[in-house]
Amino acid sequence: MPVNCPVVLETIAGEEIRLFIREAQQRCKIAITSRVGLGELEFPRKLTGLTEQESTQLIREIAKVRNSEVLKKLSNKQLADISQQLHFNPLAMKWFVNSVDTGKAPKEVLNHKANLLNFCFSNVYEQLSDHAKLILMTILSARRPLNDAEVNFLTGLSPLYMRKALNSLFVTTLAKREVPARGDISECVYSISEFAKSFLLTEHPPNKELVQSVNKKMKQLTGSFEQATLRSDINEFNMKALEIRNQNEKVIARYLHEALRCSHPRHPRFDEALSLLAQAKDIVPNYFEIYRVSAFIKSFKGDLLGAEEDYKVALDIEPDNVRLLYFYSGFLMYQIDDVSAATPYAKRAYDLRPDSPETASMYARCIGYQGKYEQAILLLRKLMNQGAIASVKSRKILSSIIINFYRRWANIDIEINKDFKSAIEKLREAEKIFQEAEMASEIDHGMIKDFSEAVFYMLSYSLEYGDEDDKNKVAQVIERYQLYIEQSKDYSRIKELIPENFSTCFIAGEKKIYTGIVSNYQDDRTYAFIRSEAHGRLYFNKGEMISSKEWSKLNEGTMVQYSLGTNSQGECATRVKVFDQLR
């Protein structure tokens, strides 16, 4: 037969009640209503609070039993107001009726709720562990509900001790746990009821130092979140950018930023970084960014196999995360040197985000490094021709990759197919890409390096397999882009390779610069002329400007400097600069 036992468990010695329950539950079903639990012996059922109507009815029923004439005369609205002041708590209502029954007026009883608070909470609070009390004080100091990660960070407790203390609080009426409507237990928050809050603020208020410390730490969490958001907004494929989707992950971002800071190349502290990551895993074990950052740090430390395992765990959690696929494919290609293993992950990232220059360049590198140059170049050129790449840096990177692949493809034509014509066409395509980048003022050192290497092979192949026309075209390319080539490591070997009778001033190391003035310039044309004492009238076009941005500065009579070059019509001006820019 079922038995209901309303028991104040906290006033009974623990072992005696446990022995009783062990014996009794063999003979009957027992329902115990209490503010504390019995641990392994209990099967808890959380009771929801009373409604306003139920609270009013309860006070009337108790008053009826007590035969309280004062309470019988109160209206439902008055009883509802009293219930609200008592936080709809049944124990508080019983205390209220008992107090009124001693002859005190209802208003007087409500004005002395300190007695009520002590009646309801004092025994429970005194039996809490220091860790449980610290959690209560921390939630009070934060002035809002806290999640798992926030409680851990703000209290400094280890995850094990924190959870043990939280469990002890859940079996009391001091703290409560709320799960979001979508039912994700990992995002539950902990708070203190208004009733319990009144007791704690009256009898055990947190001190000033704790309140200030908690709020300082909460500002640190906000700062970490803003840093991660800023990095993601600027470049989501930045290694330090974090994907943060809920409050728990917002807190973990603090641990991840600290771990990354500890792994700085100048003063790496890998043990400290990995310890922070271990703490993060204990708090939110299913957050993929923890394992991605861990993989990055282990890779930097030299633990490549450990890094690979962390990437695999991250992908088990988030198998279709574009950033994760991107970083893992890069790790496999550059750290493990396993392009074939990297390719499916790079392809998956590209399939999920085909409009991203990062995913496109990663996938293009993978297939290009496996000799599929045509497919890789078509992929990248298609992306660039769509005009969807707003970042200058991204356009520079893609242009460099295309130039590099044209050069590699040309090498295959010579070494495998012995096809000079096809090889030289590909190298001239590389030149066109560089020229387009120059016209847009989007050249960097990496692109100069790739282009100069292409020029070296263009020269080498022309000297070995080409005719005079091929050699003259290479000479023009070298002269046209001399200032760039001089910045690369290929400058010396290009210079050594050129024979003495080669038709370019680059051979002898000459850098003859002439001065003249612009003539016949018109805004709607892309060419003009230079008049000088040395050469009379020379043609040049916009592509011969050292900086294409200077074209808009030209006017009739603008003084410029230039070098002498040739084209199909004869002598022309090359490497043109506005003179006042050089002073």
Q: What is the pLDDT of residue 427?
A: 95
Least confident range of 8-12, 116-120, 210-214, 499-503? 8-12
What tokens does 86 get? 């008592």
- Domain-ending residue, one of 492, 508, 524: 508
Pick the closest to residue 328 from 340, 312, 316 (CA basis): 312
DSSP 545: B
Whether 472 is in a domain gets the answer: yes
494 and 564 together in one domain: no
Per-residue model confidence (pLDDT) at position 338: 94
Is the same domain home to 450 and 531?
A: no
Domain assignment present for 315 = no
Per-residue pLDDT at 509 = 46
| Tokens 């170049």 -> residue | 377
Instruction: Mark whether 502 and 521 lie in a shared domain.
Output: no
User: Quick one: tokens of 270?
Assistant: 């890998």
What pLDDT digit, counting tens, does each position of 418-447 carry? 899 999 999 999 999 999 998 888 888 899
Predicted local distance difference test score (pLDDT) of residue 329:
96
Its pTM stands at 0.61
**H-run or E-run covering 28:** none
Length of the chain: 583
Residues 464, 400 share a domain: yes
| One domain for residues 466 and 563 | no
Instruction: Find, among 400, 365, 360, the residue nearest to 382 by Cα.
Output: 360
Please report the pLDDT score of residue 122 as a whole number: 76
CATH of the domain at 158: 1.10.10.10
- Do 482 and 537 sit in the same domain of this protein? no
Is 560 a domain residue? yes
Tokens, residue 368 = 């290009």
| pLDDT tens digits along 158-167 | 888 888 888 8
Please give the pLDDT value at position 582: 38
Residue 566 predicted with pLDDT over 90: no
- End-to-end alpha carbon distance in the chain: 104
Spatial CA neighbour of 324 closest among 332, 335, 314, 334: 314
- Does residue 61 sit in the same domain as residue 26? no
Query: Are 169 and 162 spatial neighbours (Cβ–Cβ below 8 Å)?
Result: no
Collapsed DSSP state (helix, strand, coil) of residue 175: coil
Q: Is residue 311 part of a domain?
A: no
For the cut 70, the answer to whether the pLDDT of residue 232 exceeds it is no
Q: Is 403 a residue whose pLDDT tops 90?
A: yes
Query: Do 520 and 503 fall within a single domain?
Result: no
Residue 449 lies in a domain: yes
Neighbours of 569 (CB within 10 A): 7
Mean pLDDT of all residues in 392-408: 91
Span 113-133, average pLDDT: 79
pLDDT in tens, 451-479: 999 999 999 999 889 888 888 889 888 88
Residue 242 lies in a domain: no
Position 200 in a domain: yes
Residue 583 has pLDDT above 50, yes or no: no
Stretch 330-355: mean pLDDT, rounded?
94
Q: 504 and 521 share a domain?
A: no
CB 116 within 8 A of CB 199: no
- Which structural domain, as residue segments, surrounds residue 14? 3-35
Listed in order, strand segments (DSSP E) in 152-217 are 176-178, 189-191
**Which residue, among 537, 540, 576, 539, has the nearest Cα to 560 in the 3D structure?**
576
Q: For 488-525, how does the pLDDT look when each residue is reduced to its tens digit (9 = 90+)? A: 888 888 888 887 656 554 544 445 778 889 988 887 78
Do 398 and 499 sit in the same domain of this protein?
Answer: yes
Range with the poorest average pLDDT among 99-103, 334-338, 480-484 = 99-103
Distance CA 458, CA 473 (A): 10
Do 492 and 423 lie in a common domain?
Answer: yes
Which one is predicted more confidently, 342 or 172? 342
Give 512's contacts (C-beta < 8 A, 6+ positions apart): 505, 563, 564
Average pLDDT over residues 357-362: 90
Q: What percent of the chain has pLDDT over 70?
A: 85
Q: Is residue 82, in this structure, part of any structural domain at all?
A: yes
What is the pLDDT at residue 327?
Answer: 95
What pLDDT is attached to residue 581?
Answer: 44
Average pLDDT over residues 234-258: 83
Domain termination site, one of 177, 206, 235: 206
Q: Are 135 and 118 in contact (CB under 8 A)?
A: no
Nearest to 98 by CA among 113, 109, 112, 86: 109
- The runs of H, that is alpha helices, within 51-89 are 52-66, 69-72, 76-85
pLDDT given for residue 291 in this prediction: 95
Number of domains in the chain: 5
Same structural domain, 464 and 556: no
Q: pLDDT digits over 24-72, tens only? A: 767 777 666 654 555 555 555 656 668 888 888 888 888 888 788 788 7
